[in-house]
Amino acid sequence: MTELVDVRTPNPKNFFPGEDHDWELVIGLEVHAQVTSNAKLFSGASTAFGSEQNSNVSLVDAAMPGMLPVINEECVRQAVKTGLGMSAVINKRSVFDRKNYFYPDLPQGYQISQLYHPIVGEGTITVQVGPDKAGKFETVEIGVERLHLEQDAGKSMHDQHPTMSFVDLNRSGVALMEIVSKPDIRSIDEAKAYVTKLRSILRYLGTCDGNMDQGSMRADVNVSVRKPGGDFGTRCEIKNVNSIRFMGQAIEYEAKRQIDILEEGGSIDQETRLFDPVKVETRSMRSKEEAHDYRYFPDPDLLPLEFDDAYIEEIRASLPELPDQKRARFMEEGLSEYDASILVSDKSYADYFEKVAEGRDSKTTANWVINDLLGALNKAGKDLDNSPISPHQLGGIIDLIKADTISGKIAKDLFEIVWNEGGDPAKIVEDRGMAQVTDTGAIEAAIDEIIAANPDKVAEVREKPKMIGWFVGQVMAATGGKANPKAVNELLQKKING
């Protein structure tokens, strides 16, 4: 429908191997994101997830005769907010159209959507792809074609009864934003990074919860292949992919399938396909010939939406700090690109980090959050929302290191204890005698004993100063790891080298 323009320079790093030569993937995504709002797009029924079947259905959602849709202003506001968050053009006039088709879970017989005049026009999403082995990210700009508002349909259930199908209309009429990318994506990693970034922007904005497992966000994935830098190929569209991992698998399968066909001299039929996550393959659903004619026309029950500048500016002024801005700020505050990118990649990471970093060194905090906490959560298969260690507790551990009460090494043990048993880090250190020995008398006694027992080593250290590490190790062992390493080093230098 829209004119295809290639804005990318072919990058061999992205090429996909074939039998004869390398290929370039071209990917465009249509993401459906459920608007965060209490009520549906054109009715007052609740949008709560997991409610009893058909309990959130108004007469409008059930399409009873004579019912009229009334626009939910909050959904409009959320769509404008999302457009601004993608640095997109807000169209001051947009129109709702009827997209006509029959389906048992669509009682109206049409979906209200926006085809010709969407609420949001062109925008950009800046994506960080990576990190590579050197910890570096590549920055890629992916164009957004448009964002429009539309209604979700109900859900048919074919597995509840041997001879009957049922329909649940709870989702019928829920507001969706369809966010259509330009065909600017060139690899599986870029596609994943794009969806991850889009989801994170939506979560920062609070305009969609981004929960793909609950169906709040899902993607139609358009894939074609071509000779690097050549003309765009014919695309296939894989419908309704509901996880980032599945999307990667679907693109990979689809790219291989298309390349095989082309390398055998065949051609690609434009068609709609479905991804089967169990068999990890895509299957044809309908070809272009079977495509519906939706007979779009403006919905006569709804007036066009019209905004003035003041409305748009008021929403712009309410925007929170977005991931790109936060990332730049974190880097200004001394974090590496790697740390900053990881921390902003998920709103919950950034929120947690900022709570701990308040009044503490940001680099040390970033290390603990990324390496220790996220590492441990990852290993345990948990996410940050149900972390066994609160920001307050992690902050407590960091404070104890800063105050020289415990060494970095003991801090790792303390982290384990708090993770497994909970409790106040300072109290644990006190109760279990984990505090560092800073009493120089006790450390000196240990050092004297070790020096006396190892005159040969003492001679060695005088030759090769680096060998002092051996003594540090001995003293630490003798004090159960609790000696203050700084004090140990100073005392050793004094005693061995005078």
State the residues that interact with ligand ADP by CB under 6 A: 1-2, 4, 26-30, 180-183, 222-224, 232-233, 235
> Which of 236, 483 has the CB closer to ligand ADP?
236
Least distance from C-beta 237 to ligand ADP, angstroms?
A: 6
Least distance from C-beta 220 to ligand ADP, angstroms?
A: 7
Least distance from C-beta 183 to ligand ADP, angstroms?
A: 4
Least distance from C-beta 181 to ligand ADP, angstroms?
A: 5
> Which of 143, 391 has the CB closer to ligand ADP?
143
Least distance from C-beta 345 to ligand ADP, angstroms?
A: 23
> Which of 217, 389 has the CB closer to ligand ADP?
217
Q: Which residue is nearest to ligand ADP (CB)?
A: 28
> Which of 146, 327 has the CB closer to ligand ADP?
146
> Which of 169, 180 has the CB closer to ligand ADP?
180
> Which of 5, 64 has the CB closer to ligand ADP?
5
Least distance from C-beta 323 to ligand ADP, angstroms?
A: 22
> Which of 37, 181 has the CB closer to ligand ADP?
181
> Which of 235, 347 has the CB closer to ligand ADP?
235
| Neighbour count for residue 463 (Cβ, 10 Å) | 8
Least distance from C-beta 241 to ligand ADP, angstroms?
A: 13
Least distance from C-beta 236 to ligand ADP, angstroms?
A: 9
Least distance from C-beta 45 to ligand ADP, angstroms?
A: 29
Task: For 490, list phi and psi in degrees, rounded to 5.
Answer: -60, -45
Nearest to 425 by CA among 451, 455, 402, 446: 402
Least distance from C-beta 271 to ligand ADP, angstroms?
A: 12
